Every structure is written in structure tokens, then in C-alpha cells.
Amino acid sequence: MTSTDQGHPAQLTGVIALADGRRVSLRGSLPQDIDLLRAFFRALSDQARYFRFMTKCGELSESMARRFTDIDQVRHVALTAYVTTGGSETMVGEARYILSPDDPRSAEFAVAVAADWQGLGLARALLARLSGQAAVAGVHRLVGDTLASNVAMLELARAAGFTVSGNGLDGRLRRLAKELRPKAERRSLQRFAVTAQAELHCSQGG
Ligand SMILES: CC(C)(COP(=O)(O)OP(=O)(O)OC[C@H]1O[C@@H](n2cnc3c(N)ncnc32)[C@H](O)[C@@H]1OP(=O)(O)O)[C@@H](O)C(=O)NCCC(=O)NCCS
């Protein structure tokens, strides 16, 4: 696997052109992205935050934002999409996966895009990069739960090759799943599958 000088997978780094011609830079999340990330989630509408976290979630607490940015890019892989204007960066999208605590061949993903940047192919591009990185890292299956009312996410998932089914436990949810073609052995990464339950989601008290 090739890495950038930050030690991040090269797969997560690059520049993409959106449907309206605007260009967005991608990189693996860095600890110093914490303020960008908090500003990104603060700027989402209440509904978008609800769709993303599946619970009423106000501003990300500092500790939660730290858990989202200070990550190992192995067990928890996160991709930041950002633009630079007048020398300052703004996060416009993010996507991440976390290895399942029960099965390190499976990872749970989530994605979000800022309102002004939606409908331009950014989430599709983020998911493609994330899936590619997961396959390179030996993940067999990407899964996610989303609310049945989240039409954009359901359509995005279908467009990106995920199957959509009932979640089995909660009728309000749909399970998204995609089988990958892993390019590495997962066994050596078993140790990273520690308790990470609900880490993708908002936790009370941060
Ligand atoms: C879901 C979300 C990430 C989509 O981001 P996006 O960058 O706008 O999506 P894209 O532009 O890449 O769209 C890719 C495909 O998804 C589908 N899609 C995206 N938004 C859609 C919408 N509002 N209605 C219907 N289909 C939609 C389309 O099939 C689209 O392909 P097309 O443009 O060729 O028609 C974005 O709406 C979002 O951030 N929502 C709030 C957070 C959230 O719900 N996250 C998911 C929880 S895991």
C-alpha cells in the first residue's frame, strides 16, 4: 500500500472536479482538522445532522470531534474533503469507516456533504475512495444503517452499488451493504477490532 508523507494511504489523497467544475481536495483526516470538522458539522442543517447521526445531535463535543480526527487510519479510516479560499480551509464533506468490533472483515461507514456542495457527485466520489481503501486494506464488506426517510442516502447507496434491505431490528432503518474485492489479508488487523460500537454516531456527553 502506498502512503503519503503524513503516513496516510495515497488512495485518500487527491483533487477531484465536481459536476459544476469546482475542485475539491481530499486527504486523510488529521488531528489538526478538529476545528474544521466541528465547523462542518455545526453548519449542517438539523435534519442533515439527524440523518448523519440518527439522533438529535447539536454541536460535536470537543472529545467526540477528537475521536473523529485523531485516528489511526487503519481501524478507523476517515477522508476529509476541503476547499481553500483566501488561505483558509473549509471542510465540505467527510466519509469514514470503522472496522466492526465483531468481524474485522466488515466495516461500518458514514458520509456527509455540506449543503452548498450536494448534488455534485462529492459523496459518490468519497464513497468510491473509501471503498477502494477498504478493499486495499482487506475489508470484505462495507455496511451502514440509514433512516428509511433518508432518500438521498438510499439513492446514493444504490447508485454506488450497495444493496438496501431492512435492518431487521428497527423498522425505521435500512441496512446498506456492499461486498468488496479485498486486496489484502485481514487477519493481521484483527487486533484493531476493539470495542468501537456506536463510535460513528453521536454519544451523549461526548
Ligand atoms: C446523502 C448525502 C451524503 C449525498 O451527498 P451528495 O454529495 O449530494 O451526493 P452525490 O451528489 O454524490 O449523489 C450521488 C447519487 O446519489 C443520489 N442522490 C444524492 N442526493 C439525492 C437526493 N437529494 N435525492 C435523490 N437522489 C439523490 C443520486 O443517485 C446521485 O446520483 P446522480 O447525481 O447521478 O443522480 C448528502 O445528502 C448528505 O450529506 N446528507 C446528510 C447526511 C447524511 O444523510 N448522511 C448519510 C448517513 S450515513
Distance separating the N- and C-terminal Cα atoms of the chain: 34
Asked whether residue 205 is domain-assigned, the answer is no
Contact 37 CB / ligand 1 (< 6 Å): no
**CA dihedral sign of residues 1, 113, 199, 72:** positive
Q: Is residue 113 a contact partner of residue 123, using CB atoms and an 8 Å limit?
A: yes
Task: Please name which of 144, 159, 33 lies closest in space to residue 92, comparing C-alpha atoms.
Answer: 33
Asked whether residue 98 is domain-assigned, the answer is yes
Instruction: Please tell me the distance between residue 109's alpha carbon and the centre of ligand 1 in angstroms.
Output: 15
Per-residue tens of pLDDT for the chain, all 206 residues: 445 545 567 778 999 999 999 999 999 999 999 999 999 999 999 999 999 999 888 889 999 999 999 999 999 999 999 999 999 999 999 999 999 998 989 999 999 999 999 999 999 999 999 999 999 999 999 999 999 999 999 999 999 999 999 988 888 999 999 999 887 655 555 555 444 445 676 654 44
CATH code, 75: 3.40.630.30
| Rounded distance between C-alpha atoms, residue 114 and residue 142, angstroms | 23
Phi, psi of 97 (to 5 degrees): -135, 155
Asked whether residue 80 is domain-assigned, the answer is yes
Asked whether residue 206 is domain-assigned, the answer is no
Contact 157 CB / ligand 1 (< 6 Å): no
The domain of 14 spans 10-192
Asked whether residue 48 is domain-assigned, the answer is yes
Asked whether residue 117 is domain-assigned, the answer is yes
Total domains in the fold of the chain: 1
Asked whether residue 2 is domain-assigned, the answer is no
Helix axes 34-43, 62-69, angle to 10 degrees: 120
Q: What letter represents residue 32's amino acid?
A: Q
- How much is the pTM? 0.90
Contact 151 CB / ligand 1 (< 6 Å): yes
The DSSP string of 27-61 is: EE--GGGHHHHHHHHHHS-HHHHHHHHSS---SPP
Asked whether residue 133 is domain-assigned, the answer is yes
